[in-house]
Amino acid sequence: MRLNLLLEKLNLLLEPSRYKDYAPNGLQVEGRAEVGKIVTGVTASQALIDAAIERGADAILVHHGYFWKGEDACLSGIKRQRISSLLRHDISLLAYHLPLDGHLDLGNNAMLGKRLGLEALGQSGEQGLLWHGDWRETGDAARLNAHISSILGRSALLLGRPDKLVRRVAWCTGGAQGFFADAIALGVDAFITGEASEQNYHMAMESDVAFIAAGHHATERYGIQALGEHLMKHEGIKVEFIDLNNPV
């Protein structure tokens, strides 16, 4: 597939123009014009680039790319090494941040909800990125936390009362701890995201809404996998997902 056609199809699917984001979405580093194999991953780290080179990939497709708002624009240090590796091997880098979080079928929130057995009832908050719905099972916050830990393969952090009965849940993958107040306002019993901040503990205790931090990387593995599977199924292109563990 031609690189420009791949980019066109991804932009049509994910609609990046709908989002006000913190980094450019789409093509970030241009490589060879023909794409026969894509490696996907959560973050365009040096380890992912090295793995893509080893596997003979023509392009890398990620959730976390480069050129974030407010970062130093100079190509030095880690950034120089990463981009140099891509250019030397003529590999393209494509990244979709908020568009991959928010997609209703393939996005991180949609896929995490399916994995955890959450019935999505709506989206709200900033750019519609805060999802809410019902937990299909019945139990308290401790049981929900154990369920999440089992599904994601890592120990989730529970803040608030372990015996809090949970029916309604709000969630947003990654570093969305700042959405906790919005989740509380929705009247939910628990909020699930990737990371926790110091104030989240006090908010959980005082609001009696459980807060579960299940890992930034762990909650954002599934959207990029779903996107790769979509490309394989509908475009017939080879795609390999590489999960490089990150404890954060």
Angle of the 3-14 helix axis to the 222-235 helix axis, nearest 10:
120
Q: Which helix (H) or strand (E) holds 28?
A: strand 26-29
Rounded Cα–Cα distance for residues 161 and 182 (Å): 19
Rounded Cα–Cα distance for residues 49 and 228 (Å): 17
CA atoms within 13 A on the CB side of 29: 26
Confirm whether residue 101 is marked as ligand binding. Answer: yes
Cα–Cα nearest to 9, from 35, 43, 48, 41: 35
Rounded Cα–Cα distance for residues 6 and 125 (Å): 31
CA dist list (Å): 17 to 14, 26, 114, 127: 9, 10, 26, 12
Instruction: Please report the DSSP string for 1-22 in residue order.
Output: -BHHHHHHHHHHHH-GGG---S
Confirm whether residue 220 is marked as ligand binding. Answer: yes
Confirm whether residue 103 is marked as ligand binding. Answer: no
Confirm whether residue 64 is marked as ligand binding. Answer: yes
Instruction: Please report the DSSP string for 109-153 in residue order.
Output: HHHHHHHHTEEEEEEESGGG-EEEEEEEEEEEHHHHHHHHHHHHT
Annotated binding site: 63-64, 101, 216, 220
Annotated binding site for a divalent metal cation: 63-64, 101, 216, 220
